[in-house]
Amino acid sequence: MSQEWPPEPGLGDRPEVDEAQDTQNSPATGDRDGGAASGAGVTSLLDRELLVPIRSSSGEWVDPSQIAVESLRHGTDTEGRFVAAFTDREALSVLGPPGSDAISVTGRELFERAEGADERVIVNPGSPDQIAVPADVLPFLLAGIDLATPDALRARRPLGAMPPLEVPATVPEPFGSELRAALAELPAVERAWLLRAGSAWTVGVALDPKAPLAEFDAVRNRLHALASERLGSRRDLIVTDLRSPQLRAHYEATAAPFYEPAAPRSFLSRLLGR
């Protein structure tokens, strides 16, 4: 299904779905700060169940864990694609793509998936109280960093949206050595940077270009498990996929890689242990 989401009285023009042409007057395209993520409003969504439309209209139940980001229905506006989510069935019915199936996931799970795919999220798009969460805000949100801090506020702006990265004076042990060992066991990882971002650590991961998108989920899960064990909480480690050239350049300009294999190998070779 790729038809437009028709406007409802009082709601103005609403975003279109999937491959439909961009809508110029959608509220989702307005001032970025007008409906952008802010403080308690978006934080309260972390533990809330959200309905996310998917590319299916069969009416059959689907296991949410089996749905990849690309299988979610996307809205479009003048800034490009976004993942749409809705707070309840009524909002989905009024604002969402007609006839679409939807999965129910917590806000945290949705934001984690969106962060991994470098996607922004808009909750209840087209409504007066929509909440827009830019992709660069997601690491702050998931790490429990106050979105009102200067660093997070900078990440909400269209320009200069990268969080300020700093080279750590020291890396605690055994976290540092175990992180290198874990990265060496992940065949899709070509290079990785370990930096500070505010009060949290961040690992920027450069994957083999041929690696499927799902590989980043495996990398992030492994590193979050290590952070839980050695740092006390997975929230203390922001794992970032550096497929975006602009984002990767930001890490490269800050420091040399924390990890890279002694001899570069292809993704297939590393996967086969050669």
Q: In terms of domains, do 50 and 139 share one?
A: yes
Q: In terms of domains, do 23 and 69 share one?
A: yes
The set of residues, in sequence order, having a beta carbon less than 8 Å from that of 187 and lying 6+ positions away, is 208, 267, 270, 271
- Per-residue pLDDT reduced to its tens digit, 71-99: 888 888 777 788 999 999 998 888 888 88
Q: In terms of domains, do 29 and 131 share one?
A: yes
Of 28-37, 82-91, 180-189, the range with the lowest mean pLDDT is: 28-37
- Per-residue pLDDT reduced to its tens digit, 96-122: 888 888 999 998 999 988 888 888 899
Q: In terms of domains, do 139 and 182 share one?
A: no
Q: In terms of domains, do 65 and 129 share one?
A: yes
The Cα 132–Cα 121 span in angstroms is: 6
Structure tokens at 67: 């749905």
Q: In terms of domains, do 185 and 227 share one?
A: yes
Residue 153 pLDDT > 60: no
Confidence class for position 62, pLDDT limits 50, 70, 90 = confident
What single string gives the DSSP state of each residue in 201-237?
EEEEEEE-TTS-THHHHHHHHHHHHHHHHHTS-GGGE
C-alpha distances (whole Å) from 205 to each of 58, 146, 218, 259 are: 37, 24, 12, 9
Q: Is residue 167 part of a domain?
A: no
Q: Which of 103, 127, 155 is the last residue of a domain?
A: 155
What is the share, in percent, of the chain residues with pLDDT greater than 70?
72
Residue 20 pLDDT > 50: no
Task: At 197, give phi and psi (nearest 5°).
Answer: -135, 100
Q: In terms of domains, do 74 and 138 share one?
A: yes
The pLDDT assigned to 18 comes to 40
Residue 13 pLDDT > 50: no
The Cα 89–Cα 238 span in angstroms is: 32
Of 20-24, 100-104, 242-246, the range with the lowest mean pLDDT is: 20-24
Q: In terms of domains, do 205 and 149 share one?
A: no
Q: In terms of domains, do 151 and 179 share one?
A: no
Confidence class for position 183, pLDDT limits 50, 70, 90 = very high
Q: Which residues pair with 54 in a beta bridge?
A: 72
The pLDDT assigned to 272 comes to 58
Q: Is residue 32 part of a domain?
A: yes
CATH code at position 228:
3.30.70
Of 1-5, 153-157, 217-221, 234-238, the range with the lowest mean pLDDT is: 1-5
Q: Is residue 93 part of a domain?
A: yes
Q: Is residue 3 part of a domain?
A: no
Of 11-25, 52-66, 84-98, 168-182, the range with the lowest mean pLDDT is: 11-25
Mean pLDDT of the chain: 76
Q: In terms of domains, do 196 and 125 share one?
A: no
Q: Is residue 5 part of a domain?
A: no
Domain that holds residue 259: 175-271
Which tops the pLDDT comparison, 260 or 70?
260
Q: In terms of domains, do 147 and 255 share one?
A: no
How many separate domains does the chain show? Answer: 2
Q: Is residue 10 part of a domain?
A: no
Question: Do strands 131-133 and 121-123 pair parallel, antiparallel, or not at all (unpaired)?
Answer: antiparallel
